[in-house]
Each structure stands twice: as structure tokens, then as C-alpha cells.
A = this chain, B = another copy of it.
């Protein structure tokens, strides 16, 4: 990856890609956005971010936007911020962007996204990132950043390298707090401890996060699911803080009435990330012989809702 003025491509300019990409533009980086439905609006009007860290706008002339990947320049760093449900498109979207040392950093939710990229484009390119951020897309080019924002990044294989630290510096220079993970696997499972109950229950029950933890049966459901996920992580040799469940629930309280991404997807009739967030962790549990009845039940429910709620 070119360390001097790297060229960054954002594949999937929804809430996440839009927010981090806009922050990088604001910091002076050379960012190229691929858009689909919002292309015309952003091309004409630019982007606007309402953020607890300060609102800002980017004018159309400050932005490189594309509606076809084949017109984009090759990139040093590709941030993949598509929904995992759109991964079938990667075969078309990634090759036109590749140089011999292009880094592919998937910021997608759940399990399996790095392995998919590694199988298709070579494992040496692949990194994974986790976004801890409360963010919604309010409309074309209009992003609402409500809370948090930290990113953790790590290598798909092996410990952090020079490029890991360099990409971390890009985020940090763009006002996004970034941590380098010693183990991406650990980071993924730690995040699943939150994502599985709050995305899963949030989508199947159609409830915001606060509603899930303001009552005793809800706290029980959330805690038992977290306990199952922790057990599957531990069976892989990962170690978690002893008070992780309480920690996560407290952290969630501070987020208020937050609609998890999977709940938003349900409400807007989009496919749910059931496979990445629920099914692959369940398969891992089964392959390790760990009993996860609540996850299994939740996964079935999410499949039913996913089938039914799509517009």
C-alpha cells in the first residue's frame, strides 16, 4: 500500500461508509465513493453529516463519486462497507480496484466476510474492521452520527503489521478513534456478544435497544444470549472479561433508544444480515459441540422475519 497519499475507495456508501469516508475527505485524504441509489443526489448536493463531534458538509466539488466501479481509479485501500447481504456483488466490485498491494478492509458485520475476500482475492490483502458507532442514514447523502464512533482494525492473518498501524493513523487523522487489534478473531467475537442479542432481538421483536433492557425478562434474554456467544468464543480459546455481560448492558444503556442496523433493515424492508451475524456463529457453535439453544431459536426467528419483511 502506498503510504504517501494513499488512494482510498469506499465500496458501499451507506451510513457507515458515508460517515468514515466523509471524515477522511474532511481530513484531506483522496477518497473515492461508490454509490448506488444515492448517486444522483450526492453528485448534485454533496454530503451532510450531523455529528455529536460537530456537523459538517462536503460540497459536490469536494467529492469523487461514482455509480460504476469501472470508472473508478485503482486504490491502495478499499473500505468495504456494503451490507454482508450484498456480498454476491464483490466479484464485480473489487477486481477493477486492485493493484498488486491493494488492501481490502472489510468493515462489515458478523463472521465470514474476511474469509470470503481471502478466498476470492488472496488472503495477504485482507483486513477486518469493527465499527462501534451509532449512526443512521437519514436520506441521500445525509448521515446522522449519534454516538460513539471508535474503529478497531486487525489483520485477517497474523499480528498487526506496519500497514495496520498506517491505516489506523488514517482513521485517527480523520477524527475517528482507532485501535489496532492483536487478534481480529477476538474482536469479531467480542462484537458478536453485543450484535447477536441487540441486532437479533432488535430485528425479530422490532424493538429499540433500550426496550430490550428496561425490564427483567428482556435483560434475561439478552444476558442468556450473550452467555451462549461467550461460551462459543471461549471454546475457541478466547478470553473475555468476567463482567462482560454487565459491561455491555451498561454501555448499551448509554445509547438510549437506538435502532440496531438489523432493526432498521427490517423496518425498511431490506434483507437482514442473518447469515453473517447469526447463522455463521451458530455454525461455529455446532462445529465445536457447544449448545446454544437461544441462538438457534433466535436464528430461526430472524430467518422467518427476513423472508417475510422484505419488500
A: which residues have CB within 8 A of B? 201, 204-207, 211-212, 214-215, 217-218, 220-221, 293-294, 297, 299-301, 303-305, 307-308
Contact = CB atoms under 8 A, between A and B. Distances in A.
Contacts of A308: 205, 207, 211
Interface of A is mostly: helix
Contacts of A307: 211, 214-215, 218
A214 B308 CA distance: 9
A304 B211 contact: yes
Given A300-B220, A303-B217, A206 B207 contact: no
Given A215-B307, A293-B293, A307-B215, A300 B221 contact: yes
Counting every copy of the chain, the complex holds 2
Contacts of A212: 304
A215 B304 contact: yes
Given A204-B204, A204-B205, A205-B204, A217 B304 contact: yes
A292 to B, nearest CB: 12
Contacts of A294: 297
B297 A205 contact: no
Given A207-B305, A308-B211, A218 B293 contact: no
A121 to B, nearest CB: 32
Contact of A221 (B205, B220, B221, B297): B297
30 contacts: A201-B301, A201-B304, A204-B204, A204-B205, A204-B301, A205-B301, A206-B206, A207-B304, A207-B305, A207-B308, A211-B304, A211-B307, A211-B308, A212-B304, A214-B307, A215-B303, A217-B299, A217-B300, A217-B301, A217-B303, A217-B304, A218-B300, A218-B303, A218-B304, A218-B307, A220-B300, A221-B297, A221-B300, A293-B293, A297-B297
A33 to B, nearest CB: 35
Nearest to A225: B297
Contacts of A301: 201, 204-205, 217, 221
A205 B304 contact: yes
Identify which of A204, A303, A304 gathers the most chain B CB atoms within 10 Å of its CB: A304
Nearest to A204: B205
A211 B201 CA distance: 18
Identify which of A206, A217, A300 gathers the most chain B CB atoms within 10 Å of its CB: A217
Contacts of A297: 221, 293-294, 297
Nearest to A211: B308
Identify which of A204, A205, A207 gathers the most chain B CB atoms within 10 Å of its CB: A205
A85 to B, nearest CB: 17
A304 B221 contact: yes
